[in-house]
Amino acid sequence: MGTSENKNYLNKRLLKLNVGFLLSEGPGNSREMPIDIPERVQVDEDLYLESVTGQLFLTRTKEGILAQGTLQVANIRECDRCLDEFVHTFDVPVEELFAHPANPQISVFSVDSTGQINLGPLVREEVLIEESYRVICREDCRGLSAASGVNLNHEAEPQPEDDGINADDLIDPRMAVLKQLLDDKK
């Protein structure tokens, strides 16, 4: 990665929250923690988000820190209909126990030795699940033309009679062999 690329995102350390004060206060104490990262942030080696905002309610339990709330996450996606890139914003519900001390039998997430919780792995999991769903750039997305492959959001479907275009020219070249087979049957 070049140094110019490193300047357009924030480091994933921003997704770490210091909860040491809650650990020292004992079970039953809680705090609200606003999350407001309006700039591009690197969540993991392979995942960048355009923004992360929301409110978390952190509660000290005898097992560790319970994080509850909702984060609004924005990431760049490709429309499944027209293939244009767009910023997809969605909610990530958070209800996770960060064990203290670390105990894989209680939770896969834990408070580290410096009293911080890392939201990165949790957010990454939720974003990857969201990315498995189909999304479109807008409700009225017209998609791609089945005949010519033109993005119908940007230009009209070319018609055979327009500009002297031959109907055979609108056939995808990869499908021309199939058209030839149909023509041969006639």
Range of the domain at 57: 3-131
Whether 71 and 35 have beta carbons less than 8 Å apart is answered as: yes
- Residue 98's Cβ-count burial label (10 Å; 0-12, 13-18, 19+) is buried
Tell whether 29 and 110 lie within a shared domain.
yes
Tell me the residue ranges of DSSP E strands in the chain. Answer: 16-18, 30-37, 41-44, 47-49, 51-60, 64-78, 85-99, 109-110, 116-118
Tell whether 113 and 147 lie within a shared domain.
no
CA distance 164 to 155: 18
Tell whether 44 and 97 lie within a shared domain.
yes
Contacts 24+ apart (CB under 8 A), 35-38: 35/71, 35/119, 37/10
Tell whether 96 and 62 lie within a shared domain.
yes
Residue from 49, 46, 65 nearest 57 by CA: 65
Q: What is the pLDDT of residue 1?
A: 37
Q: What is the pLDDT of residue 64?
A: 92
Length of the chain equals: 186
Domain count, the chain: 2
Tell whether 58 and 121 lie within a shared domain.
yes
Adjacent-strand bridge partners of 69: 56, 94
Cα 91 to Cα 11, 52, 73, 86, 126, distances in angstroms: 21, 10, 6, 16, 10
Dump pLDDT digits (tens) for 149-174. Answer: 889 999 887 766 555 556 555 667 77
Q: What is the pLDDT of residue 80?
A: 94
Q: What is the pLDDT of residue 155?
A: 87
Last residue of a domain, one of 112, 131, 150: 131
Q: What is the pLDDT of residue 4?
A: 39
Instruction: Give the residue ranges of the chain where pLDDT is below 50.
Output: 1-10
Stated as kind and residue range, the H or E segment containing 119 is none
- By DSSP bridging, strand 116-118 and strand 109-110 are unpaired
Residue 181, SS3? helix
Provide the terminal-to-terminal Cα distance of the chain, rounded to the nearest Å: 58
Domain-embedded: residue 177:
yes
Whether 41 and 14 have beta carbons less than 8 Å apart is answered as: yes
